[in-house]
Structure 1
Amino acid sequence: MPRLLIVHHTPSPNMQAMFEAVVAGATDPEIGGVEVVRRPALAATVSDALEADGYVLGTPANLGMMSGALKVFFDLAYYPCLDATRGRPYGLYVHGNNDTTGAVRGIESITTGLSWEKVTPNVSVTGEPTKEDLRACWELGATVAAQLMP
């Protein structure tokens, strides 16, 4: 069964709301035959990354960058995944208090190096997520999961 790995750093109520919307989209009953695995970024392993067929990445923008927790995941998984995960689909959601540009740029640089395929627009939110923002997170999760359906 294809596996979607959601790697997230969820330290705030805003990130929690976005994470829950992503999970709700990825686990929608109309998306069948896809196992959805959720891992906090500091608990996600190289094996998790290698066993996944697609990815959703979630992070706050801290000091203009991705969270240290997500950076640790990439530091551990980058070289083991470099050849083994080329072409796999991914989606990204980011929350910041006032700007997400640096976090998005850093993650896109890493995923470009890994040759992962972005299959849905990034969801970047500043401030409290609106209903539209949470809907976009739901769609992000559903879109990446649907890419993996057998």
Structure 2
Amino acid sequence: MDNTHRKLLIVWHSRTGAARQMAEAAQRGAQDIARELDAMGRFEARLVRAAQTGAEDLLQADGYIFCAPENLGSLSGEMKEFFDRCYYGVLDRLNGRPYGLLVAAGSDGQGAVRQTQKICTGWRLEQVAPPRIVLTHAQTPQAIAAPKEIGPEDRAHCHELGGTLAALLL
């Protein structure tokens, strides 16, 4: 049996709760698979807010899930700042590591997906599943700013992505 300790880093940002719930569901999915594979002692699924994540966190991880809202057709500012701050410090040092992407959006999400995929391509990460976009359908200023609650089906997809990453790492 391989005793190597594996680390999944889940980097997230959320203002209204949707992306946070998605990241938490992915973490639970990863932990559930690690339990199922009797690997909890050699696996860690770490949930870290984008503002507190640095290059060293990325270097110490074996795989990643990036989870953020789309704001005004692009990746949220805090998530983009994380990528900007860490980009050159890890360039050519993460090659081939797996990643997944979760995006919360009002009506589209494709802008945030494209931005993140370009960054991950630059880091030479390997996307292991199609990006998951959870639509909140918030279109008014009040609905956009309101706390969100994502549904069970969307949580299940996020849970599955976490499990997929855990299985690949273990």
Is TM (by shorter chain) over 0.5? Answer: yes
CA distance in 1, matches of 2:105, 2:77: 14
Normalising by structure 2, report the TM-score.
Answer: 0.83
Q: Match of 2:52, SS?
A: coil
From 21, 26, 31, give the equivalent of 2:25: 21
From 8, 25, 43, give the equivalent of 2:12: 8
Give the deviation of 1:81 after TM superposition: 1.4
Displaced runs of 4 or more, over 6 A = none
The structure that has the greater radius of gyration is 2
> 1:52-101 CA distances to partner (integer Å, 9 max, x unpaired)?
11000000001111111111111121112111100000001000111101
Equivalent AA in structure 2 for residue 136 of structure 1: H
Give the deviation of 1:111 after TM superposition: 0.5
Normalising by structure 1, report the TM-score.
Answer: 0.94
> 1:95-131 CA distances to partner (integer Å, 9 max, x unpaired)?
0111101000000011011110011121101116332
Q: Match of 2:45, SS?
A: strand
Unaligned runs of 5+ in 1: none
Q: How does 1:38-49 map to 2 (within 5 A)?
A: 38-49=47-58
Equivalent AA in structure 1 for residue 58 of structure 2: A
Q: Match of 2:104, SS?
A: strand
Matched, 1:30 2:36: yes
Equivalent AA in structure 1 for residue 98 of structure 2: P
Equivalent AA in structure 1 for residue 165 of structure 2: V
Match of 1:125 in 2: 134
Give the deviation of 1:37 after TM superposition: 1.4
CA distance in 2, matches of 1:19, 1:49: 16
Q: Is the 1:10–1:19 Cα contact (8 Å) retained in structure 2?
A: no
Give the deviation of 1:132 after TM superposition: 1.7
Cα RMSD after superposing both structures: 1.3
Match of 1:140 in 2: 161
Unaligned runs of 5+ in 2: 137-148
Q: Match of 1:42, SS?
A: helix
CA distance in 2, matches of 1:13, 1:104: 19
Match of 2:103 in 1: 94
- Range that drifts further, 96-105 or 9-18: 9-18
- Number of aligned positions between the proteins: 149
